[in-house]
Amino acid sequence: MISLQLVNAKAGSFHLTDVTFDVPQGSYGVVIGPAGSGKTTLLETVAGVVKTTSGRIMLGGEDLTAAPPERRRLGIVYQHAFLFPHLSVQQNVEYGALSESIAADVAERFGVMDLYERPVASLSGGERQLVAIARSLARRPEVLLLDEPFSALDPRTRTFARRQLRALYYERRFTVLQVTHDFTEAGLLGDVAIMLDKGRVVQKGTPEDVFRKPASPYIADFLGAENVFAGSARPIKAEPPDWLETAEDQVTEMPVAFTTGALTFYALGDVVSGPAHAVIRAEEVSLSAEPSTSSMQNQFRGRITEIVPAGALTKITVDASGTPIVSAVTARSVRELSLGIGKEVVAGFKATAVHIC
Amino acid sequence: MELDASVLETTPPARQPSAVLRAAIAVVVALIASVFLLFVLAPVVGLVAAGGGRGLSSLARDGELRASLALTALTATIATLLGVVGGTPIAYLLARRDFRGRSIVAAAMELPLVIPHPVAGIALLLVLGRGSPMGGALYAAGLRVAGSATGIVCAMLFVSAPLYVSAAREAFAQVDARYESVARTLGDDVWRAFRRITLPLAARGLTAAAVVMWARAVSEFGAIVILTYNPKVASVLSYDRFTSFGLSEALPVAAVLVLFALVPLAALRALRRERRA
């Protein structure tokens, strides 16, 4: 496991401050955060390359805060592979390997066996990264630190590298801490997500939790939530709305009314009172020609102002009484509803889809 | 964003120099550069042209010249080796580590570069001369500094080591520290990572730094002449011939010394070519 307790560290003028989190043994942790938030410094601190000024780093249950990197039984793969340029591919893979056969096995899995005799300078970016991953795994680390290792790979190689890494991970169950700016990747891979900003952990939890319930509008924005509204919230304990009794979802949280501009949303969650933000993922917003009779507690009529194709989905902005609500719908829905700029539609979302922070 | 048409109409276009003016500027710049190049090359070429032939032919019969060249090469080599041994750790620390007193160490290593070389010779004489405590102790131990080859090595080391440290520091700085980080996570301790990764990657830069130091040591005069006039290195011999016998006798020695200096220059250029390749 990886356990950091109130870790402070300094790299140049950058500081990590009171970083605390746990990635259980055999789990996959992902570190997300904007550029310059300290993601790489965090990995280097876990690796022992950057020294801590205070706090405790436990790896595999052992306090290794003061241990040098070579004693931490971990591997690190940087975004830029940092293959040793004066050595061949084979020498790189075997550099710290426990044995030549282990190195050969990992090289085979990552498809770098054919590159063994080649000088590093002749490799493509993707090949370099595969060699770097193989080099790191040939040592059989108990903890693997990955600093955006797939970002330089073409989609095909990325899928291959991810698949091979995941297979090896399930086989050996080492603990992984991976830096990524791609939240889809974090959601796909991670058991634990750690959101970092300005050297501090600003949120941690399961990727699903961080994604659905960002702790602040800044995090919501960073994670690509299209609908982040500033407004004010008030609990509605005294007069529970009608829909609360008929809601399909099991309601265990308190109803909250959130007002932004001319709109008032219903939300469920921790009772918040006063200025707040409401976050709604675009995928949670559906569009229809007429108000729905289902359990959609929030429905607003408006006109389409923007249509932006975004991969498999199309993002549609609806102006509802001056508040832009973004919905992500399939191309099929666009066709079926004949959606176009200026068309009047109803944007709807459940109270449970609204996260107040 | 759409541009306001009225802005387009009223904003005058940026003025470009005419083709004639551009050509005139190019001619003036080329002239200045040529004069500067001539200023650097003319004395050297003139010296080799005037004394090169005589200098090379006198090598066979002028024993003093041969001895001074051999002494120059030997003392410069010893000084360079000492500079490499002592300067490499300092260069590495300055390139890699952020420690208390780092700027003082860096400034101290640059100090000899700003001291006039005869003044450096006087300072060395003060510390290493027989009259000084350290010089006296060394003399008592059988090591005479002033007036010996040891003094020449000391003078060369003092004035040229900063060039090595500066270039070696740059060579280390060009090797990304993350190579070492990766090697450390692959099981290397600090020394092993340095030996297996950093040193080979910085080798060309370090060799170039040593060549620069050697070349500077060979051409040193000011500090050596104060600390050790005899035995004479080539630069002191050319000065001695000039003051004792005039320009015509100094020319062959000076020309041979210039040809001698071309050796490290050629080595340096070859290293740079290899680096680029």
| Of the candidate ranges A168-172, A228-232, A268-272, the one whose mean pLDDT is the lowest | A268-272
Taking residues B60-64, what's their average pLDDT?
91
At B63-85, the pLDDT tens digits run 999 999 999 999 999 999 999 99
A12 contact residues in B (CB cutoff 8 A): 98
B188 contact residues in A (CB cutoff 8 A): 70, 96
Which pLDDT value is given to residue A247? 53
The span from the CA of B112 to the CA of B64, in Å, is 30
Residues 130..189 of A with a Cβ closer than 8 Å to B: which?
A: 135-136, 139, 141, 145
Contact A95 B178 (CB under 8 A): no
8 Å CB contact between A226 and A328:
yes
Q: What's phi and psi for B48, nearest 5 deg?
A: -65, -40
The span from the CA of B28 to the CA of B36, in Å, is 12
For each of the domains in chain B, give its residue range(s) and CATH number, in order of start: 17-276 (1.10.3720.10)
At A294-315, the pLDDT tens digits run 778 899 999 999 999 887 889 9
Task: Note the ipTM here.
Answer: 0.77
* Cβ-proximal residues to A205 (8 Å cutoff; 6+ apart), any chain: A192, A193
A75 contact residues in B (CB cutoff 8 A): 185-186
A95 contact residues in B (CB cutoff 8 A): 183, 186
- In terms of pLDDT, which residue wins out, B43 or B16? B43
The span from the CA of A40 to the CA of A78, in Å, is 9
8 Å CB contact between A329 and A314:
yes
Contact B185 A96 (CB under 8 A): yes
Residue B15 pLDDT greater than 80, yes or no: no
Partner B contacted by A88 (CB < 8 A): no
Residue A238 pLDDT greater than 60, yes or no: no
Residue B3 pLDDT greater than 50, yes or no: no
- In terms of pLDDT, which residue wins out, B86 or B275? B86
Report the SS3 class of residue A231.
strand
Which pLDDT value is given to residue A176? 95
Question: pLDDT category, A210, cuts 50, 70, 90?
Answer: confident
**CA distance between the termini of chain B:** 46
Which pLDDT value is given to residue B7? 47
For each of the domains in chain A, give its residue range(s) and CATH number, in order of start: 2-212 (3.40.50.300), 217-356 (2.40.50.100)
DSSP secondary-structure letter at B44? H
Which pLDDT value is given to residue A220? 84
Give me the residue from A47, A70, A85 closest to B188, CB to CB: A70
